[in-house]
C-alpha cells in the first residue's frame, strides 16, 4: 500500500517540493519516515537499535523484545 502525506511523494520516493519550501510539519514527517525506514531496515538485517524507555536506554530487537543497556561507571 502506498502512503501519501504532504511532504513526500512515496510513489517516486522523492520530496514533492523542495525541502526549504516545506512547512515544519512536512519536514518532521519526512524525517520521521526516514527514521521508521531505517529501523525497519535494521530489523530486516537482524540488528537491534537503541530506544529510550522511561528515561533509560534499551535495545529493541527484531523480535520486538527490549533489553536494558547497563550503564558503565567511568
Q: What is the 3-state secondary structure (H, E, C) of 13-30?
A: CEECCCHHHCCHHHHHHH
Domain parsing of the chain, residue ranges? 8-68
What are the tens digits of pLDDT across the range 18-50?
A: 989 999 999 999 999 999 999 999 999 999 999
- pLDDT, the chain, mean: 84
| Strand partners of residue 68 | 58
- For residue 14, pLDDT over 80 is answered with no
Q: Which residue has the cell 547497563?
A: 70
Grouping H, G, I as helix, E, B as strand and the rest as coil, residue 37 is helix
Amino acid at each position: 500500500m502506498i502512503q501519501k502525506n504532504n511532504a513526500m511523494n512515496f510513489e517516486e520516493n522523492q520530496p514533492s517540493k523542495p525541502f526549504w519550501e516545506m512547512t515544519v510539519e512536512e519536514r518532521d514527517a519526512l524525517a520521521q519516515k526516514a527514521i521508521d525506514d531505517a529501523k525497519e531496515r535494521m530489523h530486516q538485517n537482524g540488528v537491534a537499535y537503541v530506544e529510550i524507555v522511561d528515561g533509560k536506554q534499551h535495545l529493541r530487537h527484531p523480535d520486538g523484545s527490549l533489553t536494558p543497556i547497563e550503564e558503565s561507571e567511568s
